[in-house]
Amino acid sequence: MSQQEIASVEDLDRWCAHFDHHAPDLTAEIVYDVYARLREHPIAWSDRHGGFWVLTRHEDVMAAAADHETFSSAEGAHVPRQPGQMLFVPLDFDPPLHTAYRKVFADALTPARVRETEPQIRALAAELVSGFAAAGGGDFVQAVAVHLPIRLISEMLGLSEQVSAQIRSLTERIWEGFGQDGRTKTALEDLIDLLFAEALERRADPREDLLTELVTADVGGRTFTDAELRSTLATFAIAGHETTMNASANLMYELALRPELQAEVRDDVPGLRRVIEESLRLRAPAHIFARTVTHDTEFHGVQMRQGDKVLLVFASANRDEARCPHAEEFDPGRMMAGSMAFGWGLHRCVGVHLARAELRILAQEMLARGPFSVAGEVRVSHMEGGHHMGVRELPLRFE
């Protein structure tokens, strides 16, 4: 158990009894200790943010994520939900609308289309990593991890440089406001307004880009309404970079700690894939999504009522010893069946093929210029937006 923030078992028990995924002191130093304590019981209740159930064990999170008829996403995947907060396409919908929405994303991000995009990914990664290595290293997050996914999704959509340059700062403002009434709305509206203005241009002047495909996409026999298109663009811009940024920084951190592993996988693509999957399992880029109970039901002897909120803690499920022995250890030799690094069920990340390609290619470019090691203090965020955490400063040095 980490002793940096939790002084006693009593402190840990208090955390679990009043679990708050928006608390600024839910840091990387304590979060996995809290999850481990929560897993000692099948289900927990927190009185924060109007009250919600917390599922942390692998089998329970998997069961709830696979049962959209009982555990619905239609009232949003975040708790609390702020008045007037938009629903994100397709994350905050159930079938049949979710089915139509997700098809648009799936068609844009098929494995075949991702393979076609790999030269573009490699060119961007090589450009960023070359400059980073030429300088001898630096903060990997600010020099590389932030820029690769934003530039890639911007190029795929066909966004202008002016819009692309604002995506990260606006996204940070959005996460700062989650869980605090009214602070999210302005930043989110600003981002969507920028994206929607470009979409309107494609309606008038179609191009060969993904944004034009979205504007003209078939959504169950029609095109997107303005509201649907605005939500879809927000999903592409935010989800398209946030989790990949976190995952790439987490991956480079694990590699930087292990020079012998860098040498082993430098020319071993299958081995590198296993390292990537283990990094995703151990440090899930997205920790938590919420569901709403659709009807009175009993779960592990607990009576849940219609309308109850439930947090599915995917990051905890991936560290469940019942599913993954020695789960707190980084072991690239294992291949955990049922990893929830990208979620589970209907809402499993639709961009999984693109994310894995970005991680693999970026790692290859870093390893080709290695070895590299940690060169200073690593800073990890608290739980941002009640949803995710990741490395925010990762000083690396090339030998």
Can you give the CATH number for the domain in which 376 is found? 1.10.630.10
For the ranges 55-69, 163-177, 249-263, 340-354, which has the lowest average pLDDT? 163-177
Q: Quick check: is 306 in a domain?
A: yes
Give the tens place of pLDDT for each residue, 363-387: 999 999 989 999 999 999 888 888 8
Residue 174, in any domain of the structure: no
- The tokens for 225 are 């309404």
Residue 5 confidence (pLDDT) above 50: no
User: In this predicted model, what pLDDT tens digit does every residue of 206-242 receive, in sequence order?
Assistant: 999 999 999 999 998 999 999 999 999 888 888 777 8
Within a domain: residue 159? no
pLDDT value of residue 187: 76
> Which tokens hold the place of 257?
């700690």
What domain count does the chain have? 1
DSSP string for residues in 143-181: IIITHHHHHHHHHHHT--HHHHTTHHHHHHHHHHHTTST
| Structural domain contains residue 272 | yes
Residue 176: pLDDT band (50, 70, 90) is low
Give the whole-angstrom CA distance, residue 206 versus residue 200.
10
Do 76 and 87 contact (CB within 8 A), yes or no? yes
Residue numbers of the domain that contains 103: 9-77+86-146+241-398
pTM of the model: 0.91
The residue among 100, 101, 96, 94 whose CA lies nearest residue 69 is 94
Residue 51 located in a structural domain: yes
pLDDT in tens, 319-363: 999 999 999 999 998 877 889 999 999 999 999 999 999 999 999
Whether 184 has a pLDDT exceeding 60, the answer reads no
Q: Is residue 207 part of a domain?
A: no
Could you tell me if residue 200 is inside a domain?
no
